[in-house]
Copies of this chain bind each other. A is one copy, B any other.
Amino acid sequence: MGYENAWLNYRRLQGSAESTYFSSDCTDSQGRTARTAIEELKRAAREIFGLDMQEKSGTQDAGICLKLNREAAAGEEGYHIYEKDGRVTVESAGGRGLLYGSFALIRMLQTGRKIGGADLTEVPQNPIRILNHWDNMDGSIERGYSGNSFFFQDQKVLVNDRTRAYARLAASVGINASVINNVNVKGNATKLITETYRRELQEMAEIFADYGISLYLSLNFAAPMEIGGLDSADPLDENVREWWSRQMEDVFTGIPNFGGFLVKADSEGRPGPFTYGRTHADGANMLADAAAPYNGTIIWRCFVYNCQQDWRDRKTDRARSGYDNFMPLDGQFRENVVLQIKNGPMDFQVREPVSPLLGGLKKTNQILEVQIAQEYTGQQRHVCYLIPMFKEVLGFHTYCEKEKDTVADLVIGRTYGQTRCGMAAVANTGDDENWTGHDLAAANLYGFGRLAFHTDLSSEEIAGEWIRCTFGMQPEVVEKVSRILMMSWPAYEKYTSPLGIGWMVNPGYHYGPNVDGYEYDRWGTYHRADHMGIGVDRSSGGTGYAQQYHEPNASMYEKIETCPEELLLFFHHVPYSFRLKTGKTLIQHIYDSHFEGAEDVEKMVAEWESLREFLPEKIYQRVLARFEHQKEHSKEWRDQINSYFWRKSFVEDEKHRTIY
């Protein structure tokens, strides 16, 4: 057993009473996922108890019984686990439910919960729980920080043991869909929909299907021209529509359990319907019509903005662009189109307000897109446990309706009754032994799956589960690693860009501090700092972005007095002398939070160092090396940011610490 199994790192349980259930199992389902579930239970029995589980045919004899019941209240993906008379039943209306239930049962062992007397029903809340891999055909991963792709290498599709290991990990936390290629579809990736790669994708899809995962692909909107020999990709062109219909037929009928397509169009240089004077709805619907006969889903990204902005222009506001582009189209999309909306209006910064499209759109299927690849949050060299951020997003009241108005309500379909909706995460995996580069970054992959399944789980609960599954149940480890995880996002926020302003990173690779890195660039990402203050006025007197929210959010953001302070500089240009609720001036807050953030890292490192005796040396050292980098790098952040503002404002630090 090793850490290559991440949180499925089963440990021997000695003298556990639970072992009795794991002597035999059975199922009445003929399905492939139930089959997988049985295999997983056997593996767990072997690895945890050293038992060779016997498979029984009669559901009355087995210690664990997977019971398919088409009428089960938990539905096809949910499960009911109950213990009675020394026997455990996992019941579901579908094979996926049986598989998820089996993993849940194993997780009970891993986390030390009693099976005896169990009576647990869980139903996944988000219908679509999807990973977006930004993997390229050459084996590189855009914004990948964990090695190379395990889906592609040298322009070839890889199908091997890692494929199965991946599917297993994903399914164990309830992921039911995966887009394997980068949303920026170029070169050979455009051909993934053709015969060229069909056989390998079939093989992969079979493995995925064993684990209840639908394979998705990102597609290239210009494919009809690039590989179809057409002279147009106009979504209203009959030839183009026919071409797509043929492609879709081939893909959906040729690849088992194929889910659909993810599309980045008219965004950052990618082709799209704008070229032909068509709308995003025209583009998405054309694809949706072609996919409809196979019940295929078209996931259309809302990450559309002007990336050729002039920094001198203070009227254009990138934050507005998603709403401006997509709100007029609300209600125009086909039933099998889903708009995928990033959590914030910019791009995965350490702190952003919730996108006003969430709660804005009322007649459109929606997926919330988060990024567990830590592009702007330390690139898996810094620890940054992101579940608390996602929790805040999910809990945000949009006031789109009087009740059921949170982001969670919207994306799980509770508000408007949609069924094609859910959560997507830009994945943080690669071919590194530990999957995620930084061992602690796996908590985000685990956590995303668990949270998408059950949005009411707390960050602490998820952290606790992940730690126990990964490192075992020793209280010191659980307590300290949990503390590290829970400190990590606030710490990262403190020592990087202040109060929601974001973007103070090196352009291009987005790592490390560079206060003016994007200030005079074309990407619409500015802080507007001068000698007197900093921030972007997005009130009515500024870009008007605050007014894209429903009341009372609009008014709350509109006024500097009511704007949540963690977003103060996102919404307002604020003098350094402005007093925050703490009584501190803005500039003093910048200094203090940066010193604090770097100190927090030292605390995290100390916590980790105290765990040496409890952890395998290899893991301990691997994480320690990254912590040591984080410690130095957080000081670099602290010093650059503080020096920048000190040199600009000439306001002394009240505590007279060293600023350069």
Enumerate chain A interface residues (CB-CB to B < 8 A): 311-312, 513-516, 520, 529-532, 636, 639-640, 643-644, 646-650, 660
Contact = CB atoms under 8 A, between A and B. Distances in A.
A179 B388 CA distance: 59
A649 B520 contact: no
Question: Which of A520, A636, A640, A644 gathers the greatest number of chain B CB atoms within 10 Å?
Answer: A520
A529 B660 CA distance: 11
20 contacts: A311-B660, A312-B639, A312-B643, A513-B520, A514-B516, A514-B520, A515-B516, A516-B516, A516-B644, A520-B636, A520-B640, A529-B647, A530-B646, A530-B648, A530-B650, A531-B649, A531-B650, A532-B650, A647-B648, A648-B648
A640 B521 CA distance: 10
A520 B643 contact: yes
Nearest to A506: B507
Contacts of A513: 520
A312 B650 contact: no
Contacts of A530: 646-648, 650
Nearest to A529: B647
A444 to B, nearest CB: 29
Question: Which of A529, A643, A647, A650 gathers the greatest number of chain B CB atoms within 10 Å?
Answer: A647
A505 to B, nearest CB: 12
A506 to B, nearest CB: 9
Contacts of A520: 513-514, 636, 640, 643
3 tightest A-B CB contacts, nearest first: A530-B647, A531-B650, A312-B660
Nearest to A660: B312
A531 B659 CA distance: 14
Nearest to A534: B647
Nearest to A659: B312
Q: How many copies does the complex hold?
A: 2
A349 B510 CA distance: 28
Contact of A531 (B311, B515, B531, B636): B531
Contacts of A648: 530-531, 647-648
Contacts of A636: 520
Nearest to A649: B531
Contacts of A660: 311-312
A138 to B, nearest CB: 18
Contacts of A643: 312, 520
B515 A647 contact: no
A330 to B, nearest CB: 36
Nearest to A658: B312
Given A529-B647, A531-B647, 8 more contacts: A311-B660, A514-B516, A514-B520, A516-B644, A520-B636, A520-B640, A530-B646, A531-B531
Contacts of A529: 647
Nearest to A313: B660
A640 B643 CA distance: 20
A634 to B, nearest CB: 15
A71 to B, nearest CB: 64
A165 to B, nearest CB: 37
A530 B660 CA distance: 10
Nearest to A314: B660
Contacts of A649: 531
A640 B513 CA distance: 19
A520 B644 CA distance: 9
A582 to B, nearest CB: 25
A39 B648 CA distance: 66
A512 to B, nearest CB: 9
A310 to B, nearest CB: 9
A411 B338 CA distance: 72
A311 B650 CA distance: 19
Question: Which of A639, A644, A648 gathers the greatest number of chain B CB atoms within 10 Å?
Answer: A648
Contacts of A311: 660
Question: Which of A516, A532, A646, A649 gathers the greatest number of chain B CB atoms within 10 Å?
Answer: A516
Nearest to A515: B516
A649 B531 CA distance: 6
A455 to B, nearest CB: 40
Question: Which of A513, A529, A643, A646 gathers the greatest number of chain B CB atoms within 10 Å?
Answer: A643
A57 to B, nearest CB: 66
A649 to B, nearest CB: 7
A530 B311 CA distance: 22
A312 B531 CA distance: 22
A530 B651 CA distance: 11
A516 B515 CA distance: 8
Contacts of A515: 516
A208 to B, nearest CB: 41
Contacts of A312: 639, 643, 660
A20 to B, nearest CB: 62
A82 to B, nearest CB: 60
A378 to B, nearest CB: 18
A636 B311 CA distance: 10
A639 to B, nearest CB: 6
A457 B623 CA distance: 65
Nearest to A650: B531
Nearest to A532: B650
Contacts of A532: 650
A382 to B, nearest CB: 18
A347 to B, nearest CB: 21
A647 B530 CA distance: 4
A515 B514 CA distance: 11
A31 to B, nearest CB: 55
